[in-house]
Amino acid sequence: MTASARLLIVGPQGSGKGTQGVRVAETFGIPVVSTGDIFRANIKQGTDLGKKVTAILDAGDLVPDELTSEIVRDRLAQDDASNGFLLDGYPRNTAQVAQLDAFLEERGESLDAVILLDVPREESLERLRLRAIEQGRSDDTDEAIAHRLDIYEHETSPIIEIYQERGIVDRIDGVGSLDEITERISTALNARGVGQQLV
């Protein structure tokens, strides 16, 4: 029987969740479902969705729940996600948690673990400033960065409480080298028994 892992990685922008998500997903042989990547691909291709998202991001706002949930449901229904997935950037608020719960329940599934990368706000701000310079990302102005971190703190933090009540949150220190942080995540998932399914 093929091992499965249904994971969510959460953390403020600049926490490194994109990089760590890819590493964890490769370990389990599951796809990373990143709303940010999906949106950026559409922006690059100049699709209707891409144009909508560009206008929203340039204003420093986040994409509406309905649009995000529809895209995620479509992605999770694809064959390569049948044995698991790692969600990055979704759900980001309690409404999306409910939408994800309903979708997974229909499939007789649930999340195995939530990886929470803990990074101080100043560290996130500094990392995002560097990323904006290195990658030339127009959505990473100081004002937009601060706005998105505020939204994260107000909207996303409550979802952690929901998952903590379910006992599936692993809080990981997100400051350190990439390898150190990856090792902390692996240790936490192994302790939960998620990683042992692959042995």
List the catalytic residues.
Answer: 17, 92, 131, 137, 148
117 contacts 174 by C-beta, under 8 angstroms: yes
Cα Rg, the chain, nearest whole Å: 16
Q: Which of 166, 60, 49, 173 is nearest to 117 (CA)?
A: 173
In this structure, are strands 84-88 and 5-10 parallel, antiparallel, or unpaired? Answer: parallel
Q: At 132, which amino acid appears?
A: A
Extract the tokens encoding 114. Answer: 């939530």
